[in-house]
Each structure stands twice: as structure tokens, then as C-alpha cells.
Structure 1
């Protein structure tokens, strides 16, 4: 840490503490380690000051404090997204700002900065509605949506979550609270829906909801001997699938840990994930190529209440150290499947924890009139991998994952999706050249000093 730049006067910190209803932590405070810890335990950042905000006024006070001292600002709700290793900055945490309000008559939700997907889905379902959300119930709903929002449940039917934001409340680097929409500040509204924390701290979103209360789906686990057959059946299953059908295949190295079900403990398996918004019979017809493979290790396919969405992907619920890496593909021809089979063979016994191939397309490929700067619309498949464990295991796993995505270069879509961006990925990889130029002009207008530069894929001022 550069002490000359980041040392803060005790009197200044005390004054800030008196201004807010939340909490302020310095590295010497007992509550500091818990305040900086997010879901991804590999993000061991060390801010010189943490403001655990409870209200929008707290956020404004924190931003004004940082701006007056030229302190870089980072923002964290749940800490799932990889956080660059950094020190000497002010971290604003919004996890306690978790209110959700449902307007059933308008099919709209108001979602505060720290609300988790589980909070949002539970309240929306009580009104017979569902939001666009990801696979994990513990992810922050606002961060997911501002990152574009690739939903494995409703995405192919309704598109990107960012395109269904109606309004945004944001504290910009000048400390001003703005309520922006397509009508009030259209350029900032456009940029926030993909630019995330580059333009300020988003304290609330107003988003559209959809009338869905159940789905047919779940997961099927196939043993190591069936992995190649699963990969070869996948393109056939998704080839002519309707927009209401979403499918992915994840290759998993389960550790020999007691918390893993005995039938999967220490095993290498293929996990087929299915969500269908149509009839049960139509879903079974679509997945017939998988059924033809033979008996599965485990099968949870069936009609489920939408509130049970988390069981489909069964993402980890507890914080852990991990790193991720991925790419997006324009197609998945036979040669690409051959290379995925090569990848599968390489995963066995490697540090890689999981490699997922997810079908996109449908409404995700459409560009609304007021589209957000999501660059992955041309991609038809997303390939994403993750490694859990200590730093040395993670580094080794990421090295293997980079080799795997390199094999898929001939079908590379040219951009990766923000929700799946890794710690070292750059803005140039997430946006088209035209959109990035536009975002940089917007950055120059609202944050010319680039105070909001700590979170990953920083957009620098033009």
C-alpha cells in the first residue's frame, strides 16, 4: 500500500463515521476482515477504508469522501465476481441494502443494491412472477443484471436481463443521486446496463418480471464412461430447440469430500441441466438423444415449482476461493465437439473443477431498439470453466482452461460475456469497439478522474 497516498487522518474517518448510519472500518478494526470478505475468497483485496452502507445517503457520503481525497472507489454486494487484487482504495459494500418490492399490477420489481437472487425470486413468486436471473440463489441480483444478465431459465425466451431494466438509481462520482431511464438520462442509462460499477454506485434497479410459476427440468448426471456420448448428443438436442428450452452440459471433477453425495464423490461426470417452459412431453421429446445414452447416475428431471430453480445447477452455497475463464462460440460443429471431447479427457485428474457448455440463441440473439452494450449477442454457445482451491491449484487449473479455450479459437465469437468475465479480462474483451468508444466518452463525462476503477474490466475515460 502506498501510505503517502492512502493514509487517512483519523479525524476525517471519525467525521465520515458520524455522517452515516452504516459502519466504517479501517484495517486496524476487528470487523475489517469480515467487511472485506466476499463469496470469492480468492479476492484478498485490502482497501484503506470500508463503508458498509445501509442507506443511499451512506453511499453518497462515502462517494463524496473518496472524491474529495482522490481515493479510488470499489463496490461490492456479495463478492461473487472476481475482484482485482488491490489496496489503497475505498470499498463501499451494499450487502445490507437488500430490500425488494414487487408491483404485481405492473409486473415490476424494485431491487436494492444488495438483494440476492433468492430474495427477488421468493417475493416475485408470491405474485406469480419471475425475474431474469442466473443459476445461483446467492448472487447479487443487481450486479448480475448490470453485467448483462444471462439467465439459464428465461434468457432464451426473454433475452438479456439488462435489456429489461426500466430505471436505475445511481450515485455518480460527483456524489449526486440520479434516477436515470431511457427518458431522463438515456446515455448514462445505456452505459450502466453493462458498464456496471464504472460510472457510480447503483443503489436500486426497477426491472420487468414475467408470469412463470413452474418449469420442467432439473439435472441428469452421467458417469465418466458416458461423457463423450453426452457431448455428442448435446448439439442434436439444442439444434432445433424452441426458445422456451434451455440446456447446458457441465463436466465436473467432484472432490472426494464428505459433503459430496456418495454416488458422485471423487467422480468425473457430465451434468446435463435442463429447463423447459413448455409441456413435459415436449421436453422429453427434446432430450430423447440424452435418454438414448442409457441409465444415468442421478436424474431429477420433472415438473418443479419455479422457486426450486437453484436445484437445477446446484451451485456451491458457501464462500470458497476460485477463478474462472471462458469464451463464447458462434457455432458448435462436429470438429468443435471433437475438441470438447479432447478437453473432457484432459479434465480428468486435472485441477479444473468444472467446464460448462451452455446453449444461447433465441431471444438472447435479438437486439432491442434500446439495447444495452452486451457484445455476446452473436454467440450461440458459452464455454466457461472454473477451478476451486488454493492459489497454486487455481493457477494450474486456469492454465489448463486456457489451453482448452485455445482449442476452440476457430469458432470464437470475439467477445466474452460480462457475467463470466475473469479477474484479468479487460473491457476490450467485453464490448464491441464502437460500444467501448461510446462507453469511454460517457466515462469522461461522468468520471473523468476514473475514481471508479477498482472493480474488474475498468472502462477508462476517452
Structure 2
């Protein structure tokens, strides 16, 4: 029996145990009796509360190391809450939660075109710092999302992804605390298997406290959105269906069928509206972009047009994702095609005349550099996937099962075109929870390699509060 497995037989955490951890850690150490506990544990999804035995607000990699060592000594699973939209699944009294929002700091090396960021940094901070040097990192659709969690799940940029690949493809250096409580710096040359597994294995191999990655020389783009009346979605999407695959790699697009709330924060044409939101970005000039857009503009008359020249830090204007925490349920899966039949099934499921109450049902066109293995390979499992879809419904927690039913109806309607691959960041907390489902996500060969890395770096499955990759000898967890 390993040292960690032996520790798992330890008894419950006592107040004296927690006091000892407080003495060792600089940041706050909280248990359910502490007034600040609820705020420290809060997540973006108000319907997914966390209630760990102990939560540690790490201020350094050393704090993280103390927390991981404490957890293994007391037989607790380690969960990590980064920043932004991250939701940690199944965090209860048998877990220790580490929050990394205090691990701040952005260092920009203009000559090397690199950024080094702490695990608490969000994209809007990194984007602003990079812009001062004329650089653009591969940020996602929501600038409020945490850089590290997004990147460990691959990182799908609606601006730079098709031209430059996944954010994970640009990582050069990782600082991580592994299950043995050791702070390690990992590069492609130093522990290459751990480096490979961390990027795409999202949270299964340790607590990442800092990363360094390269950025692109870019200061502006042309993009935004066109919102068409929802009643026109079939006609517009019939054009989008053949238009999107023909775009050059410098252009990216997605669409979202939206039933928006009556919210004064929205532009007047969108308040309480049923719309089709077509997103677009282009890395060239306005004239090139408008030439590409011409077929789509001819497909219908938008109620709102936000496409314009923009500075790179304005990337959030492409998708205009919700900012404030919400109670919601979600699903995401890959699509192997978006054919005439796929479109017909989507329109029937979520279009005019359907009973669909979901706030957003989106499809993103991938391809380009997202299909290509980077110079330094990683575990990202979605290369070659042409489309990914994501849907969510918002409601008061008692009404969320109703939304879940409609998510299931949508998934069933598109099931004939489902692909086993998916973007890791688009998987809901209650999806890909069994070993068979996770194996299906990664594919047998990649999963076997990840499981081998897990056996080396986390043989007792301490990091199991995630879409778990289990060493073959480890139990499923509690």
C-alpha cells in the first residue's frame, strides 16, 4: 500500500488539524463554521454549490503544496477552483478545495512574445497587459474566464483558434504541485509526459499555479455579431452551413439560437427576443472581411449588427457571453457534420414553433489550425472535430430539471451526428463521469497514455474531482 493510500484510512479532520494547516499557510484556511467560507466556495453556476471539509485560499505555490500534503494525509480528495466560469463537480465533505484567485500577476516578455501568469489571472487582465506590447494571447469568448483552467482544457479562441490552434498548443512552461506535495516546473524537455498530460488532461495531474505561453503579434481584428430574427433561422443557417466551411483560417464563426431575457442591460432589439446570433471574426482588414461576409449579409436582415474594427482586448464582443453568476444546466458535444439533415433537426428542436426554453443553443465551426497537431504535442482530444455544440438553460434551482429535459431533447435530436470527440471545456460537471465516458472522450490510445501518466503522478487518484482519468489500480472515488 502506498503512503497516500494509507493516508486515505485516516479519520475525519479535527479542529486541531485545521488549526495546524492555518499555521502553515499564508492564505485563508476555512471550514464550514467560518463566516467567509461560503464566499470562498462560491462558483459561477449558482446551481452547483460546493461544500468541502476545508477550503484553502492559496497565495503561493507553497500554500498549495501545504494544502495538497494535508489532503493526502487526511484522505481527502483535492479539488481546485480557479477563476471565472469554472465549476467544480462533486465537492463535498470528503474533499479539500483549493482556490487560486489570489495567485495573481502577469509578466510580459515583449521580445520573446511570452506571457507568464498566475492561476488566478483572468483573460481580461492578460489581454490588457499583452496589448501594451502589441501582442494577442489565444483568449476565449469570455474575458472573465480564468487563463489557466481554460488553457488546461485546451482553450478554444473565437478569434485566433482557426489560425493558430488551441491555447494549450502555445504553452512553454508550467509550475505545478503534484500529488506528493512537490512544486515542479515542467517543460517539454523536463518531464515531457507530464507536460503532455497536463495540457488537455485538465486538473487530473496536479494543481497548476503558473503557466507561460507565447502570444501572437496582433493589435486589432474585425468582428462582432449579426442578430437575425429567430423566425429567419432556417434560411440564414442554410447559407451559414455552406459558407462557414469555405472561410479562410483567418476567419472564424459560430451561431447561437437565443431566447433572451427581458433585461435592460441588453440592447433594445434583444430584450426578450428570440434571435439567431451569428458571430464572426477576421484577422484581416475590413474590406476583406466584408467581402467574406457578403453571402451571410444577403441571407437576411439583422435586427442588430455589431461587426466593426476592434482592438484585441474587445474579444468579448464576438460572443457577448453572460457575465454575472447564474443558476443553469448545460450540455456540450461534438458534431461530425452540419448537413441539411442536421440543420433540419436543429430547427425542429429549437427553432420557431418548438417548445424549447433554453437561453442559448450554439454551434461553433472549428477546423484550420485546430485540426493540426502542434510542434510540441499535448493531450487535447478534439483535433479533427469540425463542429462543437453547447447549450444551456437558466432557471431557479427547483425548475432546472425542466431545463435538463430540454437539454436531453436537444441532444437526442442531434444524436445521429454526434462525434465522440469534444472540447474538454464544454463538458458539463455531470457529464463524462464514468471511466467509459472519459475513455470515449479521449479515445483509447490517448486515454491509455493519460492513465499511465496518472499512475506515475497521482497513483491514489487524489485529483479526482474532475472528469476523472483514473489509474487502473485506483477506485472510482467517493
Specify the TM-score bucket, using the shorter chain as the normaliser: over 0.9
Retained in 2: the 8 A contact 1:130–1:212?
Answer: yes
Q: Distance in 2 between matches of 1:303 and 1:258?
A: 26
- Root-mean-square deviation (CA, aligned residues, Å) is 1.6
- Determine whether 1:459 maps to 2:469: yes
- Determine whether 1:275 maps to 2:285: no
Higher alpha-carbon deviation: 330-339 or 196-205: 330-339
Retained in 2: the 8 A contact 1:378–1:413?
Answer: no
Runs of 5+ in structure 2 lacking a partner?
A: 1-8, 433-437, 473-478
CA deviations over 1:5-31 (Å, ceiling 9, x no partner): 773221221111111111010000000
Q: 1:388 Cα deviation (Å)?
A: 1.7
The change in CA–CA distance for 1:109 and 1:347 in structure 2 (over 3 A counts) is farther
- Determine whether 1:46 maps to 2:85: no
Q: Distance in 2 between matches of 1:347 and 1:429?
A: 35
2:401 aligns with 395
1:300 aligns with 306
Q: Distance in 2 between matches of 1:362 and 1:392?
A: 42
Give the TM-score normalised by the residue count of structure 2: 0.92
Higher alpha-carbon deviation: 83-92 or 392-401: 392-401
Retained in 1: the 8 A contact 2:81–2:87?
Answer: no
Higher alpha-carbon deviation: 309-318 or 253-262: 253-262
Q: Distance in 1 between matches of 2:284 and 2:40?
A: 44
1:287 aligns with 293
2:42 aligns with 37
1:77 aligns with 82
1:28 aligns with 33
- Determine whether 1:437 maps to 2:448: yes
Retained in 1: the 8 A contact 2:79–2:91?
Answer: no
CA deviations over 1:84-137 (Å, ceiling 9, x no partner): 233121000001112111111000110111100111111011100011111001
Q: 1:437 Cα deviation (Å)?
A: 1.1
- Determine whether 1:86 maps to 2:96: no
- Determine whether 1:375 maps to 2:381: yes
Retained in 1: the 8 A contact 2:245–2:365?
Answer: no
Pairs aligned (count)? 458
Listed as ranges, the matches of 1:210-229 within 5 Å are 210-229=216-235
Q: Distance in 1 between matches of 2:183 and 2:392?
A: 37
Q: Distance in 1 between matches of 2:115 and 2:344?
A: 44
Q: 1:46 Cα deviation (Å)?
A: 0.6
Q: Distance in 2 between matches of 1:191 and 1:346?
A: 44
Give the TM-score normalised by the residue count of structure 1: 0.96
Q: Distance in 2 between matches of 1:315 and 1:429?
A: 29
- Determine whether 1:119 maps to 2:130: no
CA deviations over 1:56-101 (Å, ceiling 9, x no partner): 1111111111111121110011252332233121000001112111
Q: Distance in 2 between matches of 1:450 and 1:252?
A: 40
Listed as ranges, the matches of 1:274-423 within 5 Å are 274-345=280-351, 349-423=355-429
CA deviations over 1:323-381 (Å, ceiling 9, x no partner): 22121122222111211221232785533110011110000011134321122112111
Retained in 2: the 8 A contact 1:150–1:161?
Answer: yes
Q: Distance in 1 between matches of 2:287 and 2:427?
A: 36
The change in CA–CA distance for 1:79 and 1:430 in structure 2 (over 3 A counts) is farther
Listed as ranges, the matches of 1:165-244 within 5 Å are 165-244=171-250
Q: 1:292 Cα deviation (Å)?
A: 1.0
2:13 to 8, 15, 38: 8
Retained in 1: the 8 A contact 2:173–2:187?
Answer: yes
- Determine whether 1:130 maps to 2:130: no
Retained in 1: the 8 A contact 2:118–2:210?
Answer: yes
